[in-house]
Structure 1
Amino acid sequence: MQQVVFYTREKCQLCEDAKQILNLLQDDYLFEVVEKDIESSDEWTEKYGLMIPVIEIDGEIVQYGQIDPFTVSKRLQQKS
């Protein structure tokens, strides 16, 4: 099963929107979401603090900030 890493933090409206998009995409694609709160790691906070939410698939950042379903689904299709 494909794995999507979702970097997020609490009280982030863009993150909530992105989470809804990922939940909707799971209806069409088989993947597991691994949610990582950047506040739990200084490294993640430094790396992704200004970018969140961040969607990563196979070690590649697919999209960050304003997440749209088209871009993420296009990337998921490449691996299906």
Structure 2
Amino acid sequence: MLQVQFYTKNNCSLCDDAYALLMMLKRYYDFELVELDIYTNDEWLEEYQLLIPAVRMNDTFLTCEEMDLETLEHAIKNNV
């Protein structure tokens, strides 16, 4: 099963929007969503602080600038 790692933080409206998109796509595609709070890991905080929300699945990495329904769906379809 595809694992989608979702890098996020609390009180982030962009993260909330991306989460809603992922939940919508989860109804149509079989994947495991793993939420990763960047404030629980110093490496994640340093690497993703300005990029969240961010999603990683296999070799695909999407940042906040690419976080729209079409791009997410395309990435999931290509990785399932």
The TM-score bracket by the shorter chain reads over 0.9
Which residue pairs with 2:63 in the alignment? 64
CA distance in 2, matches of 1:79, 1:47: 23
Deviation at 1:59, TM superposition (A): 4.2
Q: Which amino acid aligns with 1:50?
A: L
Which residue pairs with 1:23 in the alignment? 23
Matched, 1:54 2:48: no
Q: Which amino acid aligns with 1:64?
A: T
Deviation at 1:31, TM superposition (A): 0.3
Give the 3-state SS of the residue equivalent to 1:7 in structure 2.
Answer: strand
* Unmatched runs of 5 consecutive residues or more in structure 1: none
CA distance in 1, matches of 2:79, 2:58: 10
Matches within 5 A, 1:31-50: 31-50=31-50
Shift of the 59–79 alpha-carbon distance from structure 1 to 2, 3 Å rule, reads: closer
Normalising by structure 2, report the TM-score.
Answer: 0.92
CA distance in 2, matches of 1:38, 1:79: 24
Q: Which amino acid aligns with 2:64?
A: G
* Unmatched runs of 5 consecutive residues or more in structure 2: none
Count of aligned pairs? 79
Deviation at 1:69, TM superposition (A): 1.0
Deviation at 1:76, TM superposition (A): 1.3
